[in-house]
Amino acid sequence: MALTRKFLEAMGLEDAKISAIIEEHDKTVTGLKEVRDQYKAEAEKNAEAQKKLSEMQANPGEDWESKYNTLLQTFNEFKAETANREKAEKVKAAYTQLLRDANVDPKRIDAILKITDLGDKKLNAEGRFDDAEQLTEGIKNEWAAFIQASGTKGTDVETPPQTRNSSTLTRADLYAKDEHGRYKMSTAERQKALVENPDIMRT
């Protein structure tokens, strides 16, 4: 069944939630199409490399062994690179799901992924994280500022909280310390600023 606005409305969801779900669904579909096209192109390259190897084996010429070994090495490196890229995509997808399950604001997920190091994250045979619970707790602590809580009362417009404008912050502001050597901004404030304005680290 297609995920349509009409389908979501029938479930009794609010317009804001429907829009957020549709937006994330579109991003997921677009991302999957891009990955599909990439793998298709790589598969074509793979087939071409195999063809060349077969031709060289069938019609050896001068220095055929050296050329064969060079091409074989390139082919093996290509296969390894493809396998690593596939693993990385699966890890990213699994971590994205953890962010969604933790109720992180969908509009912040892409920015969070850009500044999150997933290099040491590994999936088990079932395609899941063995330490999923610990990772989820870490997400809730590290990105608490972007966790959406259902039923949360909106901010009083007459007395808005005093927040920092991330667009005016610099890298030096993020790591500024007071006279006692303590960071002026909390870890949560720094993480929030980085997600809202990733270009801070370039200033």
pTM above 0.85, yes or no: no
Residue 203: per-residue pLDDT:
59
Structure tokens at 120: 């040491």
Residue 2: per-residue pLDDT:
57
Structure tokens at 60: 């050896």
Tens digits of residue pLDDT in 150-187: 644 444 444 444 445 555 677 677 677 777 777 777 77
d(CA 189, CA 192): 5
Q: Once rounded to an integer, what is the mean pLDDT over residues 53-63?
A: 64
Residue entry with tokens 């693993």: 87
- At 23, is the pLDDT very low, low, confident or very high (cuts 50, 70, 90)? confident
Residue entry with tokens 């200033």: 203
**CA 131 to centroid of chain Cα atoms:** 18
Residue 184: per-residue pLDDT:
76
Residues 6+ apart with CB under 8 A from 182: none
Residues 6+ apart with CB under 8 A from 140: 102, 147
Residue entry with tokens 């610990």: 134
Q: What are phi and psi of 130, to 5 degrees?
A: -65, -30
**Does the pLDDT at position 12 exceed 60?**
yes
Q: Once rounded to an integer, what is the mean pLDDT over residues 19-45?
A: 71
Strand, helix or coil for residue 59: coil
Residue 200: per-residue pLDDT:
67
**Does the pLDDT at position 107 exceed 60?**
yes
- Give domain limits for the chain: 15-129, 166-202
- At 97, is the pLDDT very low, low, confident or very high (cuts 50, 70, 90)? very high
Torsion of CA 109, 115, 118, 120, to 10 degrees: -150
Q: Once rounded to an integer, what is the mean pLDDT over residues 43-67?
A: 68
**Does the pLDDT at position 32 exceed 60?**
yes
Residue 96: per-residue pLDDT:
92
CB 111 within 8 A of CB 104: no
